[in-house]
Amino acid sequence: MFTFYGNPFRHCDGVSRRSFLKAGALGVGGLTLADVLQLEAEAGIRSSHKAVINIHLDGGPPQMDMIDPKPNAPVEIRGEFKSLRTKIPGIHLTELMPKLAANADQFAFIRSLVGGVGRHDAFQCQSGFDGKELAGIGGHPAMGCAVTRLLARPTDSAPAFVDLMQGRPLVRNSARPGFLGPAYTPFRPDLSHLFKRGLEPGMQTELARLGANHTMELNLVEGITAGRLENRVELLRNIDRIRREADESGSMEALDKFTQQAVGILTSGKFAAAMDLAKEDPRVVDKFTPAMRGPNEAHYTTEGPNSIQKFLLARRLIEAGVRCVSVSISDFDTHTANFDRMRYLGPLVDHGLHALVADLRERGMLDDVMIVAWGEFGRSPKVNSKAGRDHWPRVGMVIMAGGGMRTGQVIGSTDRTASEATSRPVEYQDVIATLYHHLGIDGRNTTVEDTTGRPQYLVTSGQPIRELIG
């Protein structure tokens, strides 16, 4: 049984539609599953199965310890990991990435990501923007929320955007809809019973503020048939119609728009089935489950080897019709014991990305699915007194694959200490614009209206990365 997060709102009758609903307990208090189905009627029929998997390396991955080795730098800069030749002549990764090195022709490595705002969440990787921009009207929307606004329709059998991120990205609501409003909140499964990710004390406090009453389930309970569900929905619709004019939050209107899809999901079970790994071939699950030990000094926020199965869930959701899936792997915030922790995290990501690309290729899906793996910033070149690397927003890294891109290349370069980009700087918005381009959306020339009715461009400075898409 899976639970889903939604946003709180209150109607004129004082009833809080806080998005806690066990399907089947559909009294007149509200059918709130629809509240998190962020779809819109006028978008039209989807023309392709193109999709995006956005993997956030939570905490900020150390670029020099993964894809930008500096073997000739001083030891306090280059660290403990050796440089490893790849399948592509002249391209080296570190010894932590042997699978990607052996299959480097299927990946693109960006060493010159710049413009990080230095905040510990995934919002910039979700939107391309600083979270402070347009904060007065809710801020910019995450890419998946904008895709929902533009491409989704209420008759779709799955939501356009599913957020599987845990830890900081979840607590800080990194995949938020911004000025688009609560109707475009991502579909957000609670994965805590499947994938453990401990929270820092501050994060625990932040999560507690969200409240416990923000989940819902996606299966019909015993005794509720599809017919009974439809009858209750119609009753609910008639009662809510009386309240609609007095509702100032806009949530009632959103409920009307999305009820059709809510019922479709509840009665078909297709989406819930996609979230059930027990329905996957065990041999495939094994491919997404690396046999590896945790670090000697495991940080309490570090995830286990089975966390890579989130990549498999992403693929299954895309097969079910989802357009954007966000995933996180923690914890790259390696202020202490960077090398011991990276001996675990590096191979974990290496295994996961290789397994995901191989799986998509075997299924004939690789050209339709664009993958990006990145973080909120890089890590400092100089190792600190705790054998760790600190925050470094001046330059970071990106790994991309699939989507019909021109892979087998490195884009950009850094100086001898991996502290500054020396060629081809790539902005966060450039990566987001590339993802939009893959979905058939021109981010520079496409707008969505904010709460004031003013059109806002999806990206304002970014361009699709020409080396990848031609």
Measured distance CA(67)–CA(84) in Å, rounded: 10
**Residue 455 belongs to a domain:** yes
Do 260 and 397 belong to one domain? no
257 and 225 in a single domain? The answer is yes
Predicted local distance difference test score (pLDDT) of residue 11: 36
286 preceded by a cis bond (ω within 30 of 0): no
Residue 454 domain-assigned? yes
Do both 254 and 320 map to the same domain? no
Count Cβ atoms within 10 A of the Cβ of residue 101 and give its class: 0-12 exposed, 13-18 middle, 19 or more buried.
buried
In which band, very low, low, confident or very high, does the pLDDT at 203 lie, cut at 50, 70 and 90? Answer: confident
Low-confidence winner among 218-227, 384-393, 423-432 (lowest mean pLDDT): 218-227
Is residue 42 in a domain?
no
DSSP type of residue 72: T
CATH number at residue 134: 3.40.720
247 & 322 share domain? no
The pLDDT tens digits for 297-309 are 667 788 999 999 9
As a whole number of angstroms, the distance between CA 127 and CA 461 comes to 12
Instruction: For 409, list phi and psi in degrees, rounded to 5.
Output: -150, 160
Which one, of 51, 53, 43, 29, lies nearest residue 153 by Cα?
Answer: 43
Residues 120 and 259 reside in one and the same domain:
no
**CA max distance for the chain:** 72
Same structural domain, 63 and 184: yes
- Token couple for 392: 């470094």
Beta pairing class for 378-379 and 413-414: unpaired
Cβ neighbour number for residue 470 with a 10 Å cutoff: 8
Q: Pinpoint the alpha helices (H) of 115-154.
A: 123-127, 143-151
Q: Could you read off the pLDDT of 40-92 as tens digits, one per residue? A: 333 333 446 899 999 999 999 999 999 999 999 999 999 999 999 999 999 99
- Spatial separation of the C-alpha atoms in residues 21 and 1, rounded to whole Å: 13
* Beta pairing class for 378-379 and 4-5: unpaired
Please check whether residue 395 is in contact with residue 112, taking contact to mean a CB–CB distance below 8 angstroms: yes
C-alpha–C-alpha distance, residues 258 and 116, integer Å = 36
Please check whether residue 44 lies inside any domain of the structure: no
What is the extent of the structural domain holding 384?
50-211+270-469
- The closest of 463, 460, 375, 464 to 140, measured between CA atoms, is 460
In contact, 144 and 126? CB cutoff 8 Å: yes
Closest CA to 272 of 33, 18, 39: 33
Q: What is the pTM of this model?
A: 0.84
Domain shared by 261 and 375, yes or no: no
The pLDDT of residue 200: 84
Mark which of 268, 303, 338 sits at the end of a domain: 268
Return the DSSP state at 231: H
Output Rg (C-alpha) for the chain, integer angstroms.
22
- Domain assignment of residue 343, yes or no: yes
Query: What does the chain come to in residues?
Result: 470
123 lies in the same domain as 99: yes
Phi-psi region of 87 (alpha: psi -120 to 50; beta: other; left: phi over 0): alpha
Whether 156 and 115 share a structural domain: yes
Higher-scoring residue by pLDDT: 316, 46 = 316
Do 16 and 163 lie in a common domain?
A: no
276 belongs to a structural domain: yes
Q: How far apart are CA 130 and CA 119, in angstroms?
A: 9
Residue that wins the pLDDT comparison between 245 and 362: 362
Over residues 195-210, mean pLDDT = 84
Number of domains in the chain: 2
In this structure, are residues 354 and 103 in contact, taking their beta carbons and an 8 Å threshold?
yes
- Is beta strand 421-423 parallel, antiparallel or unpaired with respect to 107-114? unpaired
pLDDT number for residue 260: 56
Do residue 285 and residue 358 come from a single domain?
yes
| Residue 193, domain member (yes or no) | yes
Question: How many Å apart are CA 260 and CA 278, to the nearest integer?
Answer: 28
Verify that 61 and 121 share a domain, yes or no.
Answer: yes
Asked whether residue 281 is domain-assigned, the answer is yes
